Structure formats: structure tokens, C-alpha cells
Amino acid sequence: MPGDEIAIRSEFRDILYPVSVTARFARVPEAFIEACEREELIQSRIMMQGKKGYGTQEIHLLIRIRTLHEDLGLDLAAIDCILRMRHQLITLRQQIAEMEQRNLQREEVLRAEIQELRRRLAQELDWE
């Protein structure tokens, strides 16, 4: 949703926010976070004080989950399925891009080999 984007910036990459702060950033109730964790959609980490904490990745994921839940009316099980399929799709796209890159590199090598063979053939024909 437009305007729902939040900017969470930190000098520390793995800064963890307590549940209450995470809930405010993601605009969800704390109970929603707990439900998402029970469904294994997100995973908390332990902060120095021994309390649960969530990083920026989890907060952004919670925002995505909230959007799917509120806008499309999906339950958490359906959201889990969608997120898994999204992850698979991203992985497949990356694999395709890597394969295409390897194919381009292989094509360059083969073109160079063809050019070399043509050059040799032309030299042999000139000697005859």
C-alpha cells in the first residue's frame, strides 16, 4: 500500500528490536507477531537482555504478511504457502539468470573457437 513503506536504517546490520517496537514498525498487534512466529512465518532472535528481538528483515516480512492478511483476507497458512512459493520463484529466477550467464559465456568461447577454426581453414586453403 502506498505510504506503508517505512525506513528502518541503522548503522548496525543486525540490530534487534523488541516485540513492542517491532509491532509499532510493522503496524501490527503483538499478538499477530506471536501468531506469525507460531506459524513459523518469522523467527525471533534473542537479544542481549534475553528477550525476543526482531531484525529489519523480519519487520519487512511482517509488513508483507500484514498486507496479505488485511488486503487479501488470507489466513496465516495461506500466507505461508504464498511466501514459500515466492521464495521458490525467486530462487528459480536466480538459477535461470545464472544459467543464461553461463550460456552466454559458453557461446563466446564457442564463437572464438569457430573463428579460430575458420582462420586455420583459410590458411590451409591458401597453402594449397
Neighbouring-strand partners of residue 17 = 54
Q: Which amino acid is residue 15, in one-letter code?
A: I
Query: Distance (Å, rounded) from C-alpha 26 to C-alpha 112?
Result: 54
Question: In this structure, what CATH number is given to the domain that contains residue 59?
Answer: 1.10.1660.10
pLDDT-derived band at 2 (thresholds 50, 70, 90) equals very low
Size of the chain, expressed as the number of residues it contains = 128
Spatial distance between the Cα atoms of 6 and 17, rounded to a whole number of angstroms: 15
Residues 81 and 70 in one domain: no
- Give this prediction's pTM: 0.70
Instruction: Specify the number of domains making up the chain.
Output: 2
Are 61 and 93 in the same domain? Answer: no
Q: Please check whether residues 59 and 10 belong to one and the same domain.
A: yes
Cα(87)–Cα(70) distance, integer angstroms: 21
Task: Give the domain extent around 117.
Answer: 76-128
The percentage of residues in the chain with a pLDDT greater than 70, rounded to a whole number, is 89
Per-residue pLDDT, averaged over 54-65, amounts to 96
Nearest to 47 by CA among 22, 67, 30, 80: 22
